[in-house]
Amino acid sequence: MKKFFLTALLGASLIANSSFAMTKPVKLVDQGSFFAGGTVIQSDGNYNPTDPKDFSGQTLHGDHAYVFYQIPVKAKKYPLVFLHGSGQSGKTWETTPDGRDGFQNIFLERGYATYIIDQPRRGRAGRSTLPENISARPDDQLWYYNFRIGIYPDVYDGVNFPRDKSSADQFLRQMTPNTGAFNQKIIADAMVAVFEKSGEGILITHSAGGGPGWETAIRSDKVKAVISLEPGTFPFPEGEVPPAEETTSPFPARGQSVSRADFLKLIKIPIVVYFGDNIPSGDKPVANWGQDNWRVRLNLALKWAQVAKKYGGDVEIVYLPDIGITGSTHFMMSDLNNLEIADVIETWLKSKKLI
């Protein structure tokens, strides 16, 4: 907290100049980046190098993920693999909008190797095999509301989001468009390939990263646990998908249907799911659609946990206010109390003997 107030007082220009923004120095034995997964498409005809206007027979390498990894000295057993959510890139996990350590630095400082992903058709993994129209329609306020920060430019009472204008500005610039349609299978394909490179690890997903994250855990035996922050959806065994609840949100919360065998594959690893604050309870839609969007998702999570437990799964749904942590937004990894959230996650990892 102290750091945040300092930043707010002294202005944003100091953020990058601070020589000790990291809580403590980190000795890296490796860092780098690579692309994982993806495919190649080719136009008809034969490649003709002599005519730059003739694109016959040329290829496009696309639909891969971009991965930036860092390995500190004496790294813990399992690396953490971070998959962002809707409209975001790997930036989600980096420096917070008010210039504090994000999960990338926090966990690196605690001795974890980190793998930060840009999913296929997003960010530095922008090369898509499908065309896309980007509208540039202003929609900051839609996301601000849906991310449960408040009603722009206001914030909800007690919410763990910085109050200064520069931080809100940085936060909104994290949005970056799809450069091709969202495709869960393509993202999961790439994530399976990421785990082939990282080796056995812990998958941490956020929001719309939840769906591809579950599919990745089903398909890769390298995923040893999933930590999911407000995932958008959940997979259920065929025939057990609950009906979608009515909501005032434009984004319905539908469960996904997977084979029972796949469902059992998923729930044989430990799974924990966290939801933040300002999520109404009950089965009645509320007028605030940005909050109602998460009411139906939290309800879906609870139904999913029931089914998972019925089949013997070691799964946990944590509504943070229930454990005394209030004010969390949809972006708990960059909230003012993100160190506290990291503690909660690390305590869970320890309890599952994953570190």
Q: List binders of a copy of itself among 28-87 (CB under 8 A).
A: 28-35, 38, 40-43, 47, 49-50, 52-53, 55, 57-62, 64, 66-69, 71, 73
Q: Is 348 in the site for a copy of itself (CB under 8 A)?
A: no
Are 214 and 235 spatial neighbours (Cβ–Cβ below 8 Å)? yes
- By DSSP bridging, strand 114-118 and strand 59-72 are antiparallel
| Min dist. Cβ of residue 222 to a copy of itself (A) | 12
| Min dist. Cβ of residue 143 to a copy of itself (A) | 10
Q: Is 105 in the site for a copy of itself (CB under 8 A)?
A: yes
CB within 8 A of 253, min separation 6: which ones? 232, 233, 244, 245, 247, 293, 296, 297, 299, 300
Short-list 323, 210, 209, 226, CA closest to 276: 323
Q: Which amino acid is at 328?
A: S
Q: How far, in whole angstroms, is CA 89 from its chain's centroid?
A: 8
Task: Select from 27, 282, 323, 324 the one that contacts a copy of itself (CB under 8 A).
Answer: 27
Question: Closest CB to a copy of itself among 168 and 227?
Answer: 168
Q: Is 167 in the site for a copy of itself (CB under 8 A)?
A: no
| Min dist. Cβ of residue 283 to a copy of itself (A) | 21
| Min dist. Cβ of residue 161 to a copy of itself (A) | 16
Task: Select from 81, 86, 117, 123 the one that contacts a copy of itself (CB under 8 A).
Answer: 123
Question: Closest CB to a copy of itself among 94 and 262?
Answer: 94
The contact mask relative to a copy of itself for 188-217 (x = CB under 8 A, - = no) is --------xxxx------------------
Contacting a copy of itself within 133-162 (CB under 8 A): 133-142, 145-146, 151-152
Short-list 54, 56, 30, CA closest to 43: 56
Question: Closest CB to a copy of itself among 228 and 249?
Answer: 249
Contacting a copy of itself within 225-254 (CB under 8 A): 249-250
E-assigned strand segments in 261-314: 271-275
Tokens of 194: 């990421």
Are 26 and 109 spatial neighbours (Cβ–Cβ below 8 Å)? yes
Contacting a copy of itself within 283-342 (CB under 8 A): 287, 289-290
Q: Is 268 in the site for a copy of itself (CB under 8 A)?
A: no
| Min dist. Cβ of residue 192 to a copy of itself (A) | 13
| Min dist. Cβ of residue 342 to a copy of itself (A) | 16
Q: Is 15 left (phi over 0), alpha (psi -120 to 50) or beta?
A: alpha
CB within 8 A of 220, min separation 6: which ones? 191, 192, 195, 196
For 136, half-sphere exposure in the C-beta direction (CA atoms, 13 angstrom radius) is 0
